Amino acid sequence: MSDVFKDAIANLLSPIGDLLKDPSVSEVMINGPFEIFVERKGQCLRVPNKFSDDDALMASMRAVAQSVGRVIDADNPRLDARLPDGSRIAVVIPPMSRRGITVAIRKFSEEKLGLKDLINFGSLSPEGARFLDCCMYLGKNTLVSGGTGSGKTTMLNVLGGRMPKHQRLIIIEDAAELQIKADHVVMFETRKANPERGIKEVTIRDLVESALRLRPDRIIVGEVRGPEALDLLNAMGTGHDGSMGTVHANTPDDACTRLETLCLMGETRIPPDAIRKMVGNALHLIVQCSRYHDGGRRTSHISEVLGVDEHGRYIVKDIFRWVQTGKDENGKLIGQMSPTGYVPTFFDEFIANKLPFPKSALKPQGWALPFLAGKKAA
């Protein structure tokens, strides 16, 4: 984004303009005019910045809403929009927000990361990164799971950039955040309804339906949070191998259950048991992103989905797992990702395609064995 646009947004939000320009700040959180927090390196910190009063903060929010063609007032008390630089802003005003105007701005990062960066950050081990790289080449359907701020979008960006360059990717998002580097990319973004202007809503589900008619090789849904989950599963199961999405869940098992629940949110007549089997059969991998109490974001699990058992429970096997072995004097967690010893059912495809990932790389490392067995870190 040009400096002119950056300056324009900073002027609208002048009391926090320095925070928006600070590259070390990933998110700005406003709890009324006098209470402002930022996120730096995974930690939330209070800053001295303030708005003069509620009216000044409200005027800024109205100006921001107007700049993106939206309105925030008593009849429209919520705003969820993308700023010109790609940052996302969410606003809730009283009486829905009991402590005053509440704002969160998740800043857009212009830095394009790769697998090597995730290794350097300690989010992935070299073996885990190579394994995921091979899975992207083979077109394994992948769900990136995690909580808010756990690094799901970053992981999806990185994995999407490792797909074969000749393939046609269609990316669908509520608000454009993904920056996948590929030769053939089509990007769709949803639209909210505006009855006053006669504008109809366009949902993720609408866009997935359109994407299926546009000859995609792979479909990527930035965040699956509604009945479009069923459409993504259908895409995964009908020749669009290597499709991906993210979902809010705390474990790989929970991610499967969450996806099942989202499928049932729509007006579907498919029985729950059939949906469960669809989830189990369509998904190959779950990459679990986690945010730990020391502020670190790490890939806690890389797991294979093997369907459902005779009791209707998902069968999920961990291939890699982040293992904590201790804590340093500053409270930083010590540990790393280790293979569990489980060999995925599709490993023969690695061999047939002569991929540079030996089976020995799946052998558990000696240091991790007691921790994988369930012993607590010292």
- Going through 150-250 in order, the beta strands assigned E by DSSP cover 169-173, 185-189, 218-221, 244-248
Question: Which pLDDT score is estimated for 376?
Answer: 45
Domains 3-106 and 115-372 share a fold: no
CA 143/CA 237 separation, integer angstroms: 14
Distance CA 198, CA 244 (A): 33
- 329 vs 135 pLDDT, higher one: 135
Fold adopted by 3-106: Beta-Lactamase (3.30.450)
Give yes or no for residue 3 having a pLDDT over 70. no
> How confident is the model at residue 378, as a pLDDT?
35
Please choose, from the candidates 79, 145, 86, 144, the residue with its C-alpha nearest in 3D space to the C-alpha of residue 112. Answer: 86
Is residue 304 within 8 A of residue 343, CB to CB? The reply is no
Class of domain 115-372: alpha beta
| Distance in angstroms (rounded) separating the CA atoms of residues 252 and 321 | 11
Using the predicted structure, report yes or no on whether residue 1 has a pLDDT greater than 50.
Answer: no
What does the domain layout of the chain look like in residue ranges?
Answer: 3-106, 115-372
Res. 115 pLDDT band, cuts 50 70 90: very high
Dig out the tokens for 185 from the structure. Answer: 């990319």
Residue-wise pLDDT tens digits, 211-222: 999 999 999 998
The SS3 of residue 324 is strand
First to last CA, the chain: 47
Quick check: 5 pLDDT over 70? no
Nearest by Cα to 212 from 242, 236, 181, 244: 236
Whole-angstrom distance, CA of residue 353 vs CA of residue 13: 53
Confidence category of residue 141, pLDDT binned at 50, 70, 90: very high
| 276-304 confidence digits (pLDDT tens) | 999 999 999 999 999 998 888 999 999 99
The residue-averaged pLDDT of 126-148 equals 96
Average pLDDT, the chain: 89
Confidence of residue 266 (pLDDT cuts 50, 70, 90): confident
Q: Any idea what DSSP says for residue 76?
A: S
At position 349, the amino acid (one-letter code) is E
Return d(Cα 267, Cα 264) in angstroms, integer: 7
Give the integer Cα–Cα distance in Å for 336 and 244. 25
What is this structure's pTM? 0.85
Ranges assigned E (strand) in the chain? 27-31, 36-40, 43-47, 78-82, 88-92, 102-106, 142-146, 169-173, 185-189, 218-221, 244-248, 285-291, 297-308, 314-327, 333-339
Query: Are the CB atoms for 301 and 322 separated by under 8 Å?
Result: yes
pLDDT tens by residue, 62-98: 988 888 778 899 888 999 888 877 788 999 999 899 8
More confident residue, 281 or 194: 281
pLDDT for res 2: 47
**Cα-based torsion angle of the residue sequence 24, 89, 112, 170 in order, rounded to the nearest 10 degrees:** 170
Token reading at 223: 């965040």
Q: How much of the chain exceeds pLDDT 90, in percent?
A: 60
Q: What is the pLDDT of residue 10?
A: 63
